[in-house]
Amino acid sequence: MLRQFLALTLFGLVSVEALHAQDPDFVLLLTDSVVVSGEPGTASVVLDHFGTAGVQGWSLGVEHDPSDATLVDVAAGETILDLSPDFFATTVFADGWTAAVIFTASGSVTIPPGASYELHRPSYDLAPGVVNTTLCFTDTLGTPPTPTVVVVGARQLVPTQVCGTITAVDATGFRRGDANGDGVVDIADPLFLEAELFAGGSASPCRDASDANDDGFVDIADDITILSYLFIGGATPPAPGPLSCGADPTDSDPLDCGAYDCP
């Protein structure tokens, strides 16, 4: 009840002025993802924030073609998990989903300027035979329709919006950085890699999973990539990332994924 009240309070403060052109200081994008045929595909809704004031919340809609894909789940992204919003709601429709998030009605918690804030993580099943489908932001889902906006200084701004695609390929899926192949990227993975590299330990059959920085080599840099991601706020390993099971979108290197159990 408190959350609904806070939501109504903040959105009540939001200006109802006509929507402006897309603001280049706030970019919402849907990531491209490459998935293994027959397995769910996960995309991310990402915010790049080039403004000066913090983002207090947002609402958005994401549509897909229901003949190509079925929405499986909409999980909270890392930014939502980190900042624990006062209000967080998602609604699912046959051809898309909407979300509304407010950190605090007082504006004391905001997203500061920066890039690659992961807001949401929707998963889709592609229909048999579909190799490519597009996800785009929309203002048309819901009654009343939910606009795609970010809230800054208790005013809503229309962000720049970038569509994404999900592409299905016949390949072995994996989690980037899961060197020991147990399904989780954790401190055991750099230990496994060090044993392989320096102590004659066995090597994972999925070399792409061990190539945490996706540079085409399995070496000490991958060890450092995993440790820095896990413990000192380093960059998230490249797609399919450490959390989602998927195929290698940059499959031009000599490494291969011989075997890996998803999910």
**180 belongs to the binding site for Ca ion (CB under 5 A):** yes
Q: Does 210 bind Ca ion (CB under 5 A)?
A: no
Other Cβ atoms within 10 Å of 82 Cβ, number: 11
Closest separation in Å from C-beta 187 to Ca ion: 9
Based on the shown chain and the rule CB under 5 A, indicate whether residue 211 belongs to the binding site for Ca ion: yes
Whether 27 and 97 have beta carbons less than 8 Å apart is answered as: no
Q: Does 204 bind Ca ion (CB under 5 A)?
A: no
Where does residue 70 rank: exposed (0-12), middle (13-18), buried (19+ CB within 10 A)?
middle
Residue 75 exposed, middle or buried by CB count within 10 Å (0-12, 13-18, 19+) = middle
- Reduce the DSSP state of residue 40 to 3 states and report it: coil
Cβ 81 to Ca ion shortest distance, Å? 20
Of the residues 86, 118, 139, 178, which one makes contact with Ca ion according to CB under 5 A: 178
Q: By CB under 5 A, which span of 69-77, 132-140, 214-222, 248-256 interacts with Ca ion?
A: 214-222
Q: Which of residues 63, 208, 222, 248 is near Ca ion by CB under 5 A?
A: 222
- Please name the helix (run of DSSP H) or strand (run of DSSP E) that holds residue 217, with its range, or none: none
The reply to whether 213 sits near Ca ion by the rule CB under 5 A is yes
If one asks whether residue 256 binds Ca ion (CB under 5 A), the answer comes out as no
CB atoms within 10 A of CB 259: 11
Q: How many CB atoms lie within 10 A of CB 19?
A: 13
Q: Should residue 248 be labelled a site residue for Ca ion when binding is judged by CB under 5 A? A: no
**Binding interface with Ca ion (CB under 5 A):** 178, 180, 182, 184, 189, 211, 213, 215, 217, 222
